[in-house]
């Protein structure tokens, strides 16, 4: 697999590794699971909000 296939938003594998190391150094091993959990909860709440907004939009169009 080429490096361009692994790129995310213009970032290659080496850049992503450096970012991961910096995050690990800033927050430490004990806070990372808490951060991941909070990120997952935020993502779930955002999706629920989008779905709720779509339902409201459909109700308004049906009237």
Residues of the chain falling short of pLDDT 70: 1-8, 63
Number of domains in the chain: 1
Q: What is the SS3 assignment for 1?
A: coil
6 in Cβ contact with 12 (< 8 Å)? yes
> What whole-number distance in Å separates Cα of residue 30 and Cα of residue 3?
31
Residue 22 domain boundaries: 3-62
Q: What pLDDT, on the 0 to 100 scale, is given for residue 41?
A: 96
Q: What pLDDT, on the 0 to 100 scale, is given for residue 50?
A: 93
Q: What is the pLDDT of residues 17-31, one digit of tens each?
A: 899 899 889 888 888
Q: What pLDDT, on the 0 to 100 scale, is given for residue 27?
A: 84
Q: What pLDDT, on the 0 to 100 scale, is given for residue 1?
A: 47
> pTM of whole model > 0.75?
no
């Amino acid at each position: 697999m080429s490096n361009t296939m692994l790129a995310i938003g213009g970032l290659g594998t080496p850049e992503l590794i450096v970012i991961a190391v910096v995050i690990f150094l800033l927050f430490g091993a004990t806070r990372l699971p808490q951060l991941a959990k909070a990120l997952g909860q935020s993502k779930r709440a955002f999706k629920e909000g989008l779905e709720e907004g779509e339902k409201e939009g459909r109700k308004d169009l049906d009237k």
